[in-house]
Structure 1
Amino acid sequence: MTKKLFLLILFIGTSISFSQSLSLSEKAKVSILTCGLGPESYAMYGHTGIRIQDNVKGIDVVYNYGAFDFSTPNFIGKFIKGDLQYFVTYGSFIDFYYNYQSENREIIEQEIALSPKQINTLFQQLNHSVFSEDRYYTYKFIDRNCTTMVVDKINGILGSEYIKSDTLNQSYREILYPYMTDFYMKLGIQLIFGAKVDEPASRLFLPYEFKDAISVTKVNGNTIEKSNRKILEVNKQELPFNWLNSIYSLIALLLLLVLLNKKLIKISYFVFAGLLGLFFSLVGLYSLHEEILWNYNILLFNPLLLVFAWYLKKGIKERIVLLGKIILAMLLIYLAYMTTKVHLEIVWPFIALHFYWIAKIVLQIKKSNLAR
């Protein structure tokens, strides 16, 4: 055994022993840290942390759920499938603060009204999670993330589900929608989401929604929030409007395809749309993420478009007309269903293109048959 390895084992063992035996003083405080949004996909909704502060014992640490290891073998495959292991970490508050300062992301702190006994219990539970197999958990976008794990911890200490969602009049999709400022990322995420995200948002799963819920939560008639302050303020520069990263560039691209009016372009597009629908179908069967199951967007990006493109290439008119009518009927069902969905405003250019092209192809064939 090398000296470095021996010291590492000694350090870990000391840390476990220290964390399990240490009790906090009567002056200890617990607060929830809500961190601002970041440009990366994993940071676009913000972050939630738990801060334990005890000036008497010289303790000021932050516990974080939602950490993951990029070096995990088959990282992308595990992430898509939904069995990637996330874990809880902890570190000094000052390191946590400087990290978010360097990323230009705000931190809002809300002190929670817990008794010294409750704070000690929470402290011991968090340390147990860090230094045991409990530190690992299977990430779920809505049900098990950095926020839901903290919600469950705090409610567990309170003894009941006091902190809960009050947004049942909104779906998960409607809550998520405003967070996605990058147009093409928003489009991709909205298309891959299935029916689960259209359910009423009964779960507190986003940091800022959790923050707002804490502010209005009462336990035995008393407000649970002792204080609410922004401990890290940042200056967010307002990004100029980017035409290329907007719905206007999508409309322009689709209009260009229509104006070119080439058979090869139509066939290529239908192949692309059909493959996208096939991907939605297969990934729903493969993945354990419930959020991408029952994806009704395959009525728009229909795998049948692959067959339609093949008949169009071969010029088999009877099959083109038959399949075209079936796809158009499915498009009508999709459009009727989408009238109540928030993402209709970004997918309508595809709906319009599909209706225009397929209906035009079918009508042209029927006219040519009547002219004979």
Structure 2
Amino acid sequence: MIKKILFLFLFLGTTTSFSQNISLSEKAKVSILTCGLGPESYAMYGHTGIRIQDSINAIDVVYNYGAFDFSTPNFIGRFVKGDLQYFVTNGSFIDFYYNYQAENREIIEQELKLNPTQINLLFQQLNHSVYSEERFYTYKFIDRNCTTMVVDKINGILGKEYIKSDTSNQSYREILYPYMTDFYMKLGIQLIFGTKVDEPATRLFLPYEFKEAISYTKINGDSIEKSNKTILEVSKPEVPFNWLNSIYSLITILLVLVMINKKWITISYFVFAGLLGLFFSLVGLYSLHEEVLWNYNILLFNPLLLVFAWYVKKRIKERIVLFGQIILAMLLVYLAYMTTKIHLEIVWPFIAVHFYWIAKIVLKIKKSKLARG
């Protein structure tokens, strides 16, 4: 959804400046461009653009939201915090087309049934967005991205929220989940997401969901979609199964750690898991991204594991039992909560290992106490 900076430079290098006072002809057309998925993190959900054509005025331009500048001071820190400024760009359609052709990503075009007045108004608004302070905005993963900005623009022209989500029976997490094909990227993203992505998906925020919504949207019984065609077809090679990038490699790694049965490995794992939970806790306090707030995955990667690991290392048995029981209780709460969550299928190996290791340590101490009687 976020365009690479190279893509931005291509656009800025070919941008045509349009006067706010240009009036498009009766032959002007507006279409939504939905662009295919890519393997990179910025492209895994696709992209949405607005194309405006006017053969009389020799205009064929695409407007894009979601560009950003890597040279921004403290880029990583601002990205994590959620106050990095994104902006809208425009450029020639032919550059747009060739860029996606080079990336082997399809382009689907849906022409909208808008009247000349609406098309002219949209054109003026988009140009104002590009050439004014309105160009910059604070990106939000669900609420303000390359798709939602376009949805809002089109609905604003229509005068009502005609194009809207029809997937409120699904959560944002459930809609996002199939897009993540890289296992470890999927695992990381699912773990860092908090409760917001489990809310019903009332917002159109992904390109292909927007495309589907356009197809079924009607105004006064008349479809808003005038045409729907794939203008750039690509052939995607079949990706073979990669054992290393699958849940099977994760299970194998965890099983090997358990079977080695070394105290230092157990302690090191608990320290790692506790630090991960501490990160989940702190990033939620630091970041403005609502998607990482209230992250219940800290019940699995529990910061208390750091304390537990310390007591295990120091062999303070009473504390080991106390904190072990507390962590196990929290783990049971987590498991009960996760029974309705789609990502249970990829986090269960961690749940199993945590239960096994912690329960084994606690029970061993309890049995030794009973034996001494």
The SS at the match of 1:170 is coil
Deviation at 1:19, TM superposition (A): 2.1
Mapped partners of 2:237, 2:23: distance in 1: 44
1:277-296 Cα deviation digits (max 9, x unpaired): 00000000000000000000
Note if contact 2:16-2:92 (Cα within 8 Å) is conserved in structure 1: no
Mapped partners of 2:204, 2:19: distance in 1: 29
1:86 aligns with: 86
Mapped partners of 2:20, 2:212: distance in 1: 33
Note if contact 2:16-2:91 (Cα within 8 Å) is conserved in structure 1: no
2:290 aligns with: 290
Mapped partners of 1:287, 1:218: distance in 2: 39
Mapped partners of 1:310, 1:241: distance in 2: 40
Mapped partners of 1:216, 1:272: distance in 2: 48
Mapped partners of 2:76, 2:42: distance in 1: 14
Mapped partners of 1:255, 1:263: distance in 2: 15
Mapped partners of 1:339, 1:229: distance in 2: 41
Aligned-partner residue type, residue 179 of structure 1: Y
The SS at the match of 2:170 is strand
Q: Does 1:369 align with 2:369?
A: yes
1:101 aligns with: 101
Mapped partners of 1:305, 1:89: distance in 2: 47
1:94-129 Cα deviation digits (max 9, x unpaired): 000000000000000000000000000000000000
The SS at the match of 2:20 is helix
Mapped partners of 1:174, 1:244: distance in 2: 25
Aligned-partner residue type, residue 23 of structure 1: S
Note if contact 2:196-2:290 (Cα within 8 Å) is conserved in structure 1: yes
Deviation at 1:228, TM superposition (A): 0.2
Q: Residue 127 and residue 356 in structure 1: after superposition, are their counterparts in 2 closer, same or farther (change >3 A)?
A: same
Aligned-partner residue type, residue 207 of structure 1: P
1:129 aligns with: 129
Mapped partners of 1:200, 1:15: distance in 2: 41
Mapped partners of 1:249, 1:232: distance in 2: 37
Mapped partners of 2:219, 2:115: distance in 1: 12
Deviation at 1:21, TM superposition (A): 1.8
RMSD of aligned C-alpha atoms?
Answer: 1.2
The SS at the match of 2:301 is coil
Deviation at 1:15, TM superposition (A): 6.3
Aligned residues: 360
1:112 aligns with: 112
Query: What is the 5 A alignment of 1:59-74?
Result: 59-74=59-74
Q: Does 1:281 align with 2:270?
A: no
Mapped partners of 1:27, 1:222: distance in 2: 21
1:141 aligns with: 141
Mapped partners of 1:356, 1:232: distance in 2: 52
1:313 aligns with: 313
Q: Does 1:302 align with 2:302?
A: yes
2:199 aligns with: 199
Aligned-partner residue type, residue 188 of structure 2: G
The SS at the match of 2:365 is helix
Deviation at 1:42, TM superposition (A): 1.0
Mapped partners of 1:237, 1:85: distance in 2: 36
1:215-251 Cα deviation digits (max 9, x unpaired): 0001121100000000000000011100000000000
2:262 aligns with: 262
Mapped partners of 1:200, 1:233: distance in 2: 33
Mapped partners of 2:77, 2:46: distance in 1: 24
1:297-338 Cα deviation digits (max 9, x unpaired): 000000000000000000000000000000000000000000
Aligned-partner residue type, residue 370 of structure 2: L
Mapped partners of 1:42, 1:211: distance in 2: 19
2:178 aligns with: 178
1:41 aligns with: 41
Unaligned 5+ segments in structure 2 are 1-11
Aligned-partner residue type, residue 185 of structure 1: M
Mapped partners of 1:15, 1:307: distance in 2: 60
Aligned-partner residue type, residue 244 of structure 1: L
Mapped partners of 1:139, 1:237: distance in 2: 33
Spell out structure 1 runs of 4+ moving beyond 2 A. none
1:7 aligns with: none
Mapped partners of 2:74, 2:162: distance in 1: 39
What TM-score, normalized by structure 2, do the two folds share?
0.95
Deviation at 1:40, TM superposition (A): 1.1
Identity %: 85
Deviation at 1:39, TM superposition (A): 1.1
